[in-house]
Chains A and B, each alone.
Chain A
Amino acid sequence: MHERPSLQGNGIGLRTPHYHQFLEQAIDIDWLEVHSENYFGDGGFDLHVLEQVAKNYPLSVHGVGLGLGSAAPQQLDQIHLKKLKRLVERVQPALISEHLCWGAIATQHMNDLLPLTLTAKSLALVAERVDFLQNYLQRKVLIENVSTYLRFRDDEMRESQFLIALSQTTGCGILLDINNLYVNQCNHGEDASAAIQDFANLSEQIVGEIHLAGHTRTEDCAIDDHGSCVAPAVWDLYAQFCHSVSAEVPSLIEWDTDVPALSVLLEEAKKIEQIRRRVRADHETSA
């Protein structure tokens, strides 16, 4: 399987309000991420911008609509797959990712990242789909943990265990969203630190990308709305990841709601680098 060179450094999402800045100036960011479905058209301005931007920045193509864990229909949507492959061929992204979730039933798409039952049966289904996807694209893909508001009685394992087993079965990488770990900790009492430790305990590093985002707290819930700065508790978990797993995994600031000025995103991305530097310095001191 053909594997592109890894991304390095810090990224932000490419969002419509910032198109012109990316077309007109050199922006100080290592790489960019886009939602694949936003560029599924045959042409048009968005795709034109992406093709221009791809000349100057490595890209990560992040899917939100494939629904790898949807039990029905039985096969992944062939039209969706074709559009994804066409996009991958067009912009040659360094990374391709999707979510550990489901999103459709036989009669309709829900267009959301819905929570999967964490069972051996679900694992077999998702592994089969990931295998198919990687063969179809002839590329390794990363699968991301999702934020959830509900968990199931049928669950047999933690999400981190599910993802590790998925990676071991299919060879896929993991896109670890630290904010989602924290949101799930708030919503279900899951231990985000323990999840990071699960990845730290592996002999081989499988996390190929990190997501960092903001969330909103309500009385009973944390909402993963990607509409604010990364919370201090999430930065702490990120520092734990850098300490215990790696400080070199490409890391992204995700901001999709009420997208702020580009400078705000770039400032957030600088915080990633500050933490990494601190961790590297700690490692050197203790070495």
Chain B
Amino acid sequence: MKHPLEQLQKEFSQLILSPESNAAPTFFATEVRLTNQRLAIYRGNLQSIWISTLRNSFPVLQQLVGEDFFAYLALQYGRQFPSQSGDLNQFGSQFAYFLAHEPSVASYAYFPAVAALEWQMHCAYYAQNIMPISLAGFLSVAADAAQQCRLIWHPAAQLFQADYAAAQVVLAHQIQPIVAIDVPLDTPCQALLSRASWRVELSLLDSANFLALQALERGQTLGDALALALAHDAQFDIPLKLQSWFASGIFVGFECKE
């Protein structure tokens, strides 16, 4: 009697998802002495795929925990958060959540924040390509109405904030040799992700800068965003910040009130 296809595939999956197996079912035609060895090849492939995919998306975390422990985490993650897509670029979407609940890293409270930031950078890397606008271009068109304009964000430009120094940790790992961060790990961080030249750039933001950009991201006018920043920091350098924002390529258009 034939095995129902769905049942056979389900059993095959269980065999390669389990850490090991010495009791291959009877539906294989391959020599019995070889069946478990061959299943081990598929099991190894699956595990390699999980490890290499997560390594690509979370390079800093891998450096933080080391190759072997990262592989252990990848296998735990792969079993607890099954891949939901044939597109492996989606596989790490729950990794930060997993780390926040994984007992073996419970004493490293900043890991989930680092993972969340790396995942956000991964997504920004694949975001849509749209030509940013320049500050000069914006001012020449918006002219006197600039303060009443809402700026449209580039899909790769995003804000990040966490209760831990995740952005500082990631930035420290972008330099070779890796440098020590100069703040305690439980320092909250605010940062901007941008992609002016394909590579995702990460910039730390002070509170006033973050508040202004957050207001713009939420659709408030440039005037309201700058007022918010000035209320927080009377020394907020508007021309300098505007130059910096537009140079990062984070805006792709604008809408002005009539």
Q: Residues of A with Cβ closer than 8 Å to B?
A: 37, 40-48, 64-67, 70-72, 77, 79-80, 83, 102-112, 114, 117, 119, 121-122, 125, 149-155, 187-188, 220-221, 223
Task: Give B156-180 as 1s and 0s: 1 = Cβ < 8 Å from A's Cβ atoms.
Answer: 1000000000000000000000000
Interface residue from B5, B16, B127 paired with A42 (Cβ < 8 Å) = B127
Can you name the residue of chain B whose Cβ is closest to the Cβ of A155?
Answer: B29
**A71-B5, A109-B86, A221-B37 given; A43·B29 CB < 8 A:** no
A110 touches B13 (CB 8 A): yes
Can you name the residue of chain A whose Cβ is closest to the Cβ of B16?
Answer: A110
Write the nearest CB–CB distance from B126 to chain A, whole angstroms.
Answer: 3
Interface residue from A42, A102, A108 paired with B126 (Cβ < 8 Å) = A42
Can you name the residue of chain A whose Cβ is closest to the Cβ of B38?
Answer: A149
A80 touches B86 (CB 8 A): yes
Interface residue from B9, B13, B26, B41 paired with A153 (Cβ < 8 Å) = B26
**A45-B125, A150-B35 given; A111·B88 CB < 8 A:** yes
- Interface 9-mer from B42-50, B69-77, B92-100, B221-229: B42-50
Q: List 29 A-B contacts (CB under 8 A).
A: A41-B127, A42-B127, A42-B128, A44-B125, A45-B198, A45-B199, A64-B86, A65-B86, A80-B85, A103-B86, A105-B9, A105-B10, A106-B10, A108-B84, A109-B84, A109-B86, A110-B13, A111-B46, A111-B53, A112-B45, A114-B12, A114-B42, A151-B29, A152-B29, A153-B27, A153-B29, A154-B27, A188-B29, A221-B34
10 smallest CB-CB distances across A and B, nearest first, come from A65-B86, A41-B126, A108-B82, A43-B129, A71-B6, A149-B38, A45-B198, A42-B128, A43-B128, A71-B5
Chain A neighbourhood of B85, CB < 8 A: 65, 77, 79-80, 109
Count: A-B pairs, CB below 8 Å: 142
Q: How large is the interface on B (under 10, 10 to 19, 20 to 34, 35 or more residues)?
A: 35 or more
Expressed in whole angstroms, the Cα–Cα distance for A122 and B39 within the complex equals: 21
Expressed in whole angstroms, the Cα–Cα distance for A150 and B30 within the complex equals: 6
Interface residue from B28, B53, B83, B91 paired with A151 (Cβ < 8 Å) = B28
Chain B neighbourhood of A44, CB < 8 A: 125-127, 129, 198
Interface residue from B27, B41, B87, B91 paired with A152 (Cβ < 8 Å) = B27
Expressed in whole angstroms, the Cα–Cα distance for A70 and B105 within the complex equals: 36
**Does B101 touch A at the CB level, under 8 Å?**
no
Chain B neighbourhood of A114, CB < 8 A: 9, 12, 42
Write the nearest CB–CB distance from B43 to chain A, whole angstroms.
Answer: 10
From B29, B38, B87, residue with most partner A Cβ within 10 Å: B87
A65 touches B87 (CB 8 A): yes
Chain B neighbourhood of A66, CB < 8 A: 86
**Does B219 touch A at the CB level, under 8 Å?**
no
**Does B145 touch A at the CB level, under 8 Å?**
no
**A48-B198, A221-B37 given; A80·B46 CB < 8 A:** no
Expressed in whole angstroms, the Cα–Cα distance for A60 and B53 within the complex equals: 24
**Does B207 touch A at the CB level, under 8 Å?**
no
Can you name the residue of chain A whose Cβ is closest to the Cβ of B37?
Answer: A220
**Does B89 touch A at the CB level, under 8 Å?**
yes
Chain A neighbourhood of B198, CB < 8 A: 44-45, 48
Expressed in whole angstroms, the Cα–Cα distance for A67 and B28 within the complex equals: 20
From A71, A110, A154, A221, residue with most partner B Cβ within 10 Å: A110
B83 touches A111 (CB 8 A): yes
Chain B neighbourhood of A65, CB < 8 A: 85-88
Can you name the residue of chain B whose Cβ is closest to the Cβ of A80?
Answer: B86
From A44, A79, A83, A153, residue with most partner B Cβ within 10 Å: A44
